Amino acid sequence: MNLKIHSIQHRGDKSKECMVLEALEDCDLSDYAVVDTACTPEGELNSWRHFHWFKSQRIRKGDYIVLRTRKGNDRARNSIHMVSKLANKTYERHWNADSAIWSDGGEHAALLHLTWADSRKMSA
């Protein structure tokens, strides 16, 4: 997997809440989705509650993606990596949700690498 979940910040505050992902290799964001999952008391994942499939965007190793819960406009900005001091980009994306997704409950964040998808318009 060429992305990893770095952190979830400001849980429960829709205006600030976000998930931060880090690119481990060059890749396209459209190959990935993020899901908020619920768990059984035994800790097994049993349902998807919120799903976000990223739009196509080529990103490079060392770039960051900030997926904000709130509504907003997607953008990219140049930044300097705090550890390596190398220039990279931070891509800001928005889930456009009406409420906070990550509470202090038993949610689990799952990053999915989509290697194949079939999509068809279904007629009525």
Contact, 21 vs 67, CB < 8 A? yes
What pTM does this model have?
0.82
- Could you tell me which residue, 48 or 10, shows the higher pLDDT? 10
Q: Give 3-state DSSP helix, strand, coil % of the chain, rounded to 5.
A: 0, 50, 50
Q: Which two tokens stand for residue 29?
A: 């964001």
Mean per-residue pLDDT for 1-28? 93
What structural domains and CATH numbers belong to the chain? Answer: 3-112 (2.60.40)
Mean per-residue pLDDT for 43-69? 87
Say if residue 75 is exposed, middle or buried (CB neighbours under 10 Å; 0-12, 13-18, 19+): exposed
- How many C-beta atoms surround the C-beta of residue 39 within 10 A? 14
Mean per-residue pLDDT for 89-110? 85
pLDDT of residue 107: 73
